[in-house]
Amino acid sequence: MQALIDSYSPTIESSVDTPFEKFTTEYRLDQLDAPFRSITYRPSAEIKNSINARIFGIVDDIATLNDNWDEDGAIAPGSEVIQLAQAMVHSMTAVGQEIYNAAPGAKGEIMLDLRAGNKSLEVIIYRNKMKFVKFSPSEPPTQGSFTPNLLLTDLLAWLNEK
Amino acid sequence: MNVKGQKVSSDWHLYRRGFGPPDKRFLNPDGTATSRAFKLRDKDQGKLSVDVKEMTTAANAIIDPTKFVLFEVPVVAVEKIGLSTVHDPLSVVNDGIENDAHASILGLDDDDEIKPGLLARASRRIAV
């Protein structure tokens, strides 16, 4: 995984022929919101058969949920949350970053859990915000919101740093 | 009978029920809980619902094993991350259900994404 980080290039782009052409790992995630609201994301077969094929499948399953999906009043994730989650999975796949798991939350959010060694990076996509949480045995957990100054590459570098 | 609001003994354990039908993939691949299983929702009003293991059975706590899964968390692990646990028995009159083993984890913040993750990582799946 370190090799993947070492070889990161801000010019890496998706090969998918969609508006995601410009979705690079250097994109600031807060900029993703608007463009992703109005498109339908259909990952290619190549992408769907990739290291994150299972995660694409989980997100597809999540997209079928209705309100009260947990029989306790949980809200189903909206299309914008689904689109952003798919975009994140796509982006991670493009740079070779395996995602450990994806899960829906009761407030309509989707959590993506990225793991490397004993570290875990959770990316939580809400309808109106995106947050991250860093868990590591060697430092206190921290959380934050995606801001214009935050690059996903920085978070992945932290995750894969040994 | 436990008094509502009384602290749950640090030596005891808690059951937290999560939604996890076998045909859904809402758990981690190894069957452990995700942070979402310990996240507050609006209707919780700041109190994360749990049952005290020492006052119930896994079969009672899970209600329906075809739909739910059960996670166990030591009270001491809850306290270690700065949260507290109090008895919060439910009654038919007030809550529509009788559950003397019910308790609440207090101190979670709606914006806090860390503590739900820590609770999930401190929990273990209980076979029912």
pLDDT of A162 reads 82
Q: pTM of the prediction? A: 0.83
Distance from CA of B112 to the nearest CA of A (A): 8
The number of folded domains in chain A is 1
What residues contact B33, with CB distance under 8 A and at least 6 apart? B16, B18, B27, B71, B119, B120, B123, B125
- Decide which of B119 and B128 is more confident: B119
Per-residue pLDDT of chain A (162 residues; tens, 9 = 90+): 444 334 333 333 333 333 333 333 333 444 454 444 444 455 566 666 689 999 999 999 999 999 999 999 999 999 999 999 999 999 899 889 999 999 999 999 999 999 999 999 999 999 999 999 999 999 999 999 987 677 788 999 999 998
Instruction: List residues of chain A with CB under 8 Å from any CB of chain B.
Output: 57-58, 61, 69-74, 100-101, 103-107, 109, 111, 113, 120, 122, 124, 131, 133, 135, 141-143
Express each pLDDT in B51-89 by its tens digit: 999 999 999 999 999 999 999 999 999 999 999 999 999
Residue range of the domain that includes A68: 2-160
Interface predicted TM-score of the whole assembly (ipTM), two decimals: 0.92
Q: Are the CB atoms for B5 and B106 separated by under 8 Å?
A: no
Nearest CA-CA partner of A100 in B111, B35, B68: B35
